[in-house]
Amino acid sequence: MAGTLIVGAGSAGCVLAARLSADPARTVRVLEAGPVWPALSAMPAALRDPAHLPVGPDSEVVWRYPGNLVRGRLAGGSGAINGSYFLRPPAADFVAWSAAAGRRWSFDAVLPVFRGLENDLDFGAGPDHGDSGPVPVSRTADPAPVSVAFAARCAAAGFTELTDLNAGSGAAEGFGRVPLTISGGRRAGPAVTHLYPAAARPNLTVTGETTVTRLLWRGTRVVGVEWTRGAERGTSRADQVVLCAGAVESAALLLRSGIGPEAQLRALGIPVVRPAPVGAWCTDHPEIGIEYPGEPGRPAVALEYVLELADLELRPYTPQFTAGLRRLGVALMHPVAAGELTLRAPEASVPPHIDQGYLRRSPDRAALRDGVDIAAQILGRRLGPVDEAWLRAHLSTSQHLSGTCRMGAATDERAVVDEYGRVHGIDGLVVADLSIVPVPLRRGPQAAVMILAAAIADYMVV
């Protein structure tokens, strides 16, 4: 059986699977490394609880990498285990994105895609919002005391309250309630909104517990994939392969399959199919965690309010990550430093090396110090001295890695894919997930990756 084969039923993969299989003439198969339940009703209830982040040491639904980096490994991918925060990037990010990859990625072009995806249960249809898309979006009506206290402190410190963080160009600074992909008190990730509603289509097959290890080639045309399922090994042929394995695994899969920096591939004994800057650039949002004494609260979604300030986002988390302590996160949303992903071994069982480049550049350290000062002012606490060592001691990741297979013109030596996600110089291969975003995004990437997947799917069905 040929047709389109999607690798990964994560945030992007679910959107692609639903949109592409809407055409009954197209056969769509999805291979997902983690569990795929036969029906939504069979998904464990805990995974639908938005107050529960299933990423702890015992979690069986995550990929783990050094540096406390995790990714979802289940139907819905990272979007099935994340904080449900659904903020679209500001217009300025799409100015940069379209400068790198063409007008298709301008704010004017993607805003209708965003509106088409969402059903904003608070604001309804309007210039900024849709009310008939598959993704329900709402804000907490009854925030936890820690969130209420944060909002009050922001107001007392002179910051503006923004009623809708997904409004206008997204340039306004201030604090407000986080738009969340929650409906009826349950997490509504991409498997819920896209994959399961399409699952009964006869032309869509989704297979779980199946890890794609390598792409198969005829010259520079992809003709299928090689996979493992427990002790079983096999291959699947396809006319077209779409990688939706995420910013870590899509890049690793390309590298293992011979698309990447020549020297790196040769050193690992991997035959080069096409030289490309896979993994040569990536970006993420470093976060400084400021802990302060606090009482435990009732279970709530991790983040109900945020303070948005130019390139910073302040996050008053509702869970207690350490008993007796609360945490205010200060995230740098537009770092100048870049990271790098490299393969350490040709085997799929060896995770790649990921260097996020956190704190490498002085403007990033200065911006985070400013953010810590603002946090200290809001909390009414004295912190520091906030030097580089202090920043490093309080550093963590926002789990927002992107950009390992950048989008751009064929003449752009930093680009791996074109504006439609097609891998330069290769036939039949598309990458459509967070790995192809060519610029840092100033918001959490869940809304962006769903916009991206929907836009690429729309192009593919034309």
Ligand X SMILES: Cc1cc2nc3c(=O)[nH]c(=O)nc-3n(C[C@H](O)[C@H](O)[C@H](O)COP(=O)(O)OP(=O)(O)OC[C@H]3O[C@@H](n4cnc5c(N)ncnc54)[C@H](O)[C@@H]3O)c2cc1C
Residues making contact with ligand X (CB under 6 A): 7-13, 31-34, 53, 55, 70-73, 77-79, 81-85, 211-212, 244-247, 249, 253, 399-400, 433-434, 444-446, 449
**Closest CB 457 distance from ligand X, rounded Å:** 13
Instruction: Select 53 or 338, whichever has its Cβ closest to ligand X.
Output: 53
In angstroms, the first-to-last Cα distance of the chain is 22
SS3 120: strand
**Closest CB 183 distance from ligand X, rounded Å:** 15
Pairing type for strands 211-218 and 221-229 reads antiparallel
Instruction: Select 341 or 376, whichever has its Cβ closest to ligand X.
Output: 341
Residue 149's CB is within 10 A of a number of other CB atoms, namely 16
CA distances 355 to 49, 349, 352, 397, Å, are 32, 19, 10, 12
Helices first, then strands: H and E counts in the chain: 12, 24
Instruction: Select 162 or 456, whichever has its Cβ closest to ligand X.
Output: 456
CA distance 127 to 229: 46
**Closest CB 212 distance from ligand X, rounded Å:** 4
Question: Is 334 among the residues known to form the active site?
Answer: no
Amino acid at 32: E
**Closest CB 400 distance from ligand X, rounded Å:** 5
Take residue 53 and report the two structure tokens written for it: 């982040």
Ramachandran class of 248: left when φ > 0, alpha when ψ lies in -120 to 50, beta otherwise: alpha
**Closest CB 159 distance from ligand X, rounded Å:** 22
Instruction: Select 225 or 372, whichever has its Cβ closest to ligand X.
Output: 225
Residues forming beta bridges with residue 106, ordered by sequence position:
none
The catalytic residue among 334, 353, 400, 424 is 400
SS3 109: helix
Instruction: Select 63 or 123, whichever has its Cβ closest to ligand X.
Output: 63
The catalytic site residues sit at 400
